Structure 1
Amino acid sequence: MDIPFFLRHAFGDISRFDPDRPVLALEDEIPLTLRELADRTDTYARGLQRLGVGTGDRVGILLYNSIEYWIAYFATVRLGAIAVRLNFRLRTDEIKYALDDSGTTVLLSEPELLHEIEPIRDDVGVRHYLSAPSDHARPEWAEPWSVLDDGTNEPLDAPRPSDDTPAMLMYTSGTTGRPKGVLWNHGNTTWWVAMQLMEWKFDQDSVTMITGPLYHIGGIENYTLPTIAAGGKAIILRSKNFDLERTLRIAAKTKTTDLLLFPSMINQMLELTNLADIDLSSLRRIFTGGDALMPAACDRLTALLPDADLVQLYGLTEGTPIAVCGAPGFAKERPDSVGRAYPFTEVSVRDDDGVPVEPGTVGEIWTRSPANSVGYWNKPEETAATFVDGWCKTGDLGIVETGALRIAGRKKDMIRSGGENISPAEIENVLIQHPDIVDAAVVGIPDPTYVEAVCAVVVTTPTSNLTENDVVAFCTTRLAGYKKPRKVVFLPELPRTASQKIQKFKLRRDLSDPNLARTT
């Protein structure tokens, strides 16, 4: 099955969907109908054809969240080309790496981001730079967006992609360093949509809002594409200047039923003093993932919104975006766990030799499903190291407890101190319980005596006068002595990827700078 099926399936004589139903909206603006989305997709596809795009070509998308982003994605995959979804936060050298690595030949970009590209535009293989509609001026060397619109309604002449036709190339978040291009095809994308429909039963009454960027797997493939496939309505937020209260008011106005909130957003939500003034009665589910949501936050959220089910998730772009999730009510019963295996998904916890471990033992999480990615773009060695017999070695640590999975951190994040293995997640769970701490991360730093020492990096409330000694004392009463932080660093915010994963490699790198610490 090909991805454009989700557009054309409403136009058959015995279709179950009305093509004139609204399916896609930018915030609370007038939504596009499925018919309008399909027509504009064909228009963009014809425009890309005129630029020489065909099967296997790479089309870069460097756009903010917008309706145009969705249309560009559908148009690219309709031609059998590969949509290279680029992070708009990248700087010049990072963009050059992605363009070179992917072999992008056409780039669809915001005009102000094209200025970021100007120094390297003659050094990459891009033949056409198209500037999206914007209040910002288009560089003279870029082509106008209007080249995508031929003003005709001629049928699109392009073969349908097959299951194994590559569809999307996404560069990983980079929690460990240089990103790798993760390749998806039409088959695993359509399988992934079907798996979500089976688990969450989106329907024509579903109104699903995502709060992340569309260049991330959680922007299109998760939640919103299956909602559109079911005849429901997907809502996307504008990029930049995220405001949680404004987001919740849009959710209330649009009667959102399913809402994606990353753990850091939920923590902000719990601090809102006027949350009771926002009518969220339409909410039936809140999805959260990317990082662990601490049990205390789970308890507070379910108390504030008892009618909305909190669904904790675990997955990754390479190895099934949601490999594990909780059933309805699960977060209330087991807030420390992310749940059980997703439909058509196998999950195994294994030791360093790849042998499954007994329940109750920490090991690396392996996943296998029809929604595992094809592999890494042009990186056969990395692909062979990560994908084994259909399994994806996630690099994450987990432990199976009473039939459910609890995340224990990244395999390479495990701290080895004084001969003991120390889980950062365990310490983070303690730190976040302090009333003055709103965010926390724990990493290992070099230590001449213990090899590594525990370092806590915390974000405090604006009025807090918390000291390093205060943090250590708080942990000392709740953790074994060897687990307590040996150093505490205070930051205004933690470095995160677009999917809200903490970039611990940056913390480890930067902690060599003594000016970062505020200690007593």
Structure 2
Amino acid sequence: MARLVHNTLNAFDAFDDRLALIEGDVEFTYRELLAEINRFARALSRHGLKRGDGLGVQSGNRWELLVLKFAAQVLGLRFVAMDPSHVVGGLPFLVQDIDAALILTEDDLGSFASTEDSTEPVAVQALDSDIAQLVYTGGTTGESKAVMLTFEALEFVTASFAARPPYPADTRLIVVTPLAHALGTVGPALMRLGVPLEIHREFEVGSFVDAVKRAGSAAVHFYPSYLYRLLDEAGEIPGLAHVTTGGAPLLPSRYQEAIDRYGPIVAQAYGQFESFAITYLDHGDAADHLTSVGEPVPGVELKIDGGHVLVRSPGTMTGYWRRPNLTAEVLQDGWLRTGDLGSRVDGHLHLAGRAAEVIVVNADTCYVAPIEAALASHPDVAQAAVVGVPDARTGQAIHAVVEPLPGRSPDSDVLRRMVSEQVTPEHVPQHVTFVDRLPLTPLGKPDKKALPRPH
């Protein structure tokens, strides 16, 4: 029996009548949630699904999506939460690639288990070495590929949350990012610690602030861009007890702004779908290490090889689904080449950007991340994104797209001078474009393919 499933079911059973899950007017205690998991597992079995089969679910944030994931884990299924907006090729590509025995859409969820009356426990079929889920990545820059994570890897990630400082008593997690992405792993891990989830379809500042106030004590895991929106569009938020960001490093100036606004409650995590838990910067340590993404999670080995960040841990992926050549490129002797550049200072990891994100100007290699950080350090700038554009004279030119803070108007010459002083003159953008708001991917990162190009 997979330890992930055994430990999860035991925890849910122990929490009994404590609140577990909320979506709108729907609420479940842990005991009621277990009953729903059993109902859905029986319904999946009646559809002929068995250990090792694939189950695909195309859905936004719904409580049924989480229940189906737990039910799939009981049966030892290969679970795929599908988000076509983030995958090159969209739904047709996903349907063909995942090789699922059953695919459900959001329209199916309400009635899928409606005829299943029995809530008797279902025998756990999953083993530690089985593939528990596929998570698609790489859709914004190239061919989409699915990360294979075993039950053993997910147990390591889930258990790592127990080693972090606990949330204040009676804190609930407000879910505002897709359960088809990282929250589909983070959420269940926190539920196993007794933290109830309140599910929202999307992130909207006003409704999020209202949800925090209703909760009395609330936590959130989301993207840096969402934290920036809170800082720009909301004042104090009574009841906000803990914030963790991931997906990209926080800009140091905005990190400090968040600490000044909300107090020492802001942490950040660094991980990838290929290895969910890599480093963690605890809120109590953040003020002294604003430029880092923290120290390795217990059980994670991390090393820097020629500036490249490599990790090895029980939480690392088995490989890319049906892409052995691509797997061999990034996994060697258990070490995962993350594709990130970085350095270690006093045990803390400092990221310098993606190895692939470089712009070659007159044969000079210019890394994007330091330029973006320099631009964002201006007090009138909310965030910035940098891309290379063709140039007849230099081959490529550096193009910066800048989102000013509301009501501010930074000067492009001042921004260029800051880049020259903080990085090098070779990194100075040849073009600067101002936008009201940067376009974002479904993962909350700047969508560099959608950025306006210079005129």
Alignment TM-score > 0.5, same fold:
yes
Aligned residue among 173, 184, 193 for 1:208: 173
CA contact (8 A) 2:302 2:311 kept: yes
Q: Work out whether 1:270 is the aligned partner of 2:228.
A: no
- SS of the equivalent of 1:4 reads helix
> Do the aligned partners of 1:62 and 1:109 also contact (CA within 8 Å) in 2?
yes
5+ residue gaps, structure 1, are 112-130, 134-144, 352-362
Q: Distance in 1 between matches of 2:255 and 2:408?
A: 23
Aligned to 1:24: 21
The Cα of 1:330 is off from its aligned counterpart by: 2.1
Aligned length: 454
User: Are 1:323 and 2:283 an aligned pair?
Assistant: no
1:256-308 superposed Cα distances (whole Å, 9 cap, x missing partner)? 34322321112112223x513x313x50x2101212211111111111112x4
Q: CA deviation at 1:467?
A: 6.5
Give the aligned partner of residue 459 of structure 1.
403
Q: Does 1:4 align with 2:1?
A: no
- Report SS of the residue matched to 1:258: strand
- The 1:92/1:403 distance shift into structure 2, 3 A limit, reads closer
Instruction: State the match for 2:109 in structure 1.
Output: 132
Structure 1 residue 53 displacement after superposition: 1.2
Shift of 1:421: 3.3
Identical pairs, percent:
26
- Rounded Cα–Cα distance in structure 2 between residues aligned with 1:324 and 1:451: 37
In 2 relative to 1, CA 469–203 (structure 1 residues): closer, same or farther, beyond 3 Å? Answer: closer
SS at match of 2:272: coil
- Does structure 1 retain, via aligned residues, the 8 Å contact 2:221–2:245? yes
Query: What SS class does the counterpart of residue 181 from structure 1 fall into?
Result: strand
Asked whether the 8 Å contact 1:44–1:149 carries over to 2, the reply is: no
**SS at structure 1 position matched to 2:317:** coil
Work out the CA distance in 1 between the residues paired with 2:193 and 2:45: 29
- How far apart, CA to CA, are the structure 2 residues paired with 1:382 and 1:182? 11
Pair 479,373 (structure 1): closer, same or farther in 2 beyond 3 Å? closer
Amino acid paired to 1:431: L
- Structure 1 window deviating more from structure 2 (323-332 vs 342-351): it is 323-332
Residue 477 of structure 1 and its aligned partner are, at CA, apart by 5.4
In 2 relative to 1, CA 489–398 (structure 1 residues): closer, same or farther, beyond 3 Å? Answer: same
Alignment of 1:245 with 2:201, yes or no, is no
Matched residue, 2:162: 197
Give the superposition deviation at 1:34. 1.0
Write the mapping of 1:350-369 to structure 2, written as runs, cut at 5 A.
350-351=305-306, 363-369=307-313
* TM-fit CA distance, 1:10: 4.4
The residue identity in structure 2 corresponding to 1:517 is P
Deviations 1:227-257 (A, max 9, x none): 2112232222223xx2123212212211334
Match of 1:381 in 2: 325
Does the 8 Å CA contact 1:312/1:339 hold for their aligned counterparts?
A: yes
Aligned to 2:185: 221
Secondary structure of 2:225's aligned partner: helix
Q: Residue 358 of structure 1 aligns with which residue?
A: none
Asked if structure 1 preserves the Cα contact closer than 8 Å seen for 2:412 and 2:432, the reply is yes
The alpha carbon displacement at 1:82 in A equals: 1.2
Pick closer, same or farther for the CA change 1:247–1:450 going to 2, 3 Å. Answer: same
1:422 shift after superposition: 2.5
Distance 1:425 1:327, change over 3 A: same
Larger Rg: 1
Q: Counterpart of 1:432? A: 376
Counterpart residue type for residue 304 of structure 2: V
Distance 1:230 1:428, change over 3 A: same
Match of 2:71 among 33, 57, 75: 75
- In 2, Cα distance between equivalents of 1:174 and 1:459: 24
* Corresponding residue SS for 2:15: coil
Deviation for aligned residue 1:493: 3.7
Alignment counterpart, residue 298 of structure 1, candidates 255, 269, 273 = 255
Which amino acid is 1:3 matched to? L
Which residue number corresponds to residue 130 of structure 2?
A: 165
CA contact (8 A) 1:415 1:422 kept: yes
Other-structure match for 1:333: 288
Q: Secondary structure at the match of 2:4?
A: coil
1:459 shift after superposition: 2.3
Give the stretch that moved more between structures: 467-476 or 407-416. Answer: 467-476
Q: What corresponds to 2:198 in structure 1?
A: 235
Counterpart secondary structure, 2:356: helix
Pairing of 1:26-65 with structure 2 (within 5 A): 26=23, 29=25, 31-65=27-61
Instruction: Find out whether 1:312 has 2:268 as its counterpart.
Output: yes
Root-mean-square deviation (CA, aligned residues, Å) is 2.6
Residues 8 and 81 of structure 1, relative CA distance in 2, 3 Å threshold: same
Query: Which amino acid in structure 1 is aligned with residue 6 of structure 2?
Result: F
In structure 2, how many angstroms separate the alpha carbons of the residues matched to 1:401 and 1:154? 53
- Which structure has greater strand proportion? 2
Aligned-pair CA distance for 1:90: 5.6
Deviation at residue 18 of structure 1 after TM alignment:
3.3
1:399–1:236 CA distance, 2 compared to 1 (3 A): same
Runs of 5+ in structure 2 lacking a partner?
none
1:44–1:72 CA contact under 8 A, matched in 2: yes
Shift of 1:97: 0.6
2:314 corresponds to: 370
One-letter code aligned to 2:444: Q
| CA–CA distance in structure 1, aligned partners of residues 86 and 310 of structure 2 | 30
Contact 2:361 2:397 in 1 (8 A): yes
Report the Cα distance in structure 2 between the residues aligned to 1:91 and 1:309, rounded to whole angstroms. Answer: 33
TM-fit CA distance, 1:149: 2.9
User: Contact 2:222–2:244 at 8 Å: present in 1 too?
Assistant: yes
- Would the aligned equivalents of 2:175 and 2:220 in 1 still touch at CA under 8 Å? yes
Match of 2:277, SS state, is coil
Indicate if the aligned counterparts of 2:232 and 2:405 stay in contact, CA closer than 8 A. no
Does the C-alpha gap of structure 1 residues 42 and 517 become closer, same or farther in structure 2, counting only changes over 3 Å?
same
* SS, match of residue 399 in structure 1: strand
Report the CA distance between 1:335 and its aligned residue.
0.7
Q: Distance in 2 between matches of 1:392 and 1:256?
A: 37
1:484 Cα shift?
0.7
C-alpha deviations, 1:137-167, integer Å up to 9, x for none? Answer: xxxxxxxx2x423342263554421101111
**CA apart distance, 1:181:** 0.7
Q: Distance in 1 between matches of 2:139 and 2:26?
A: 36
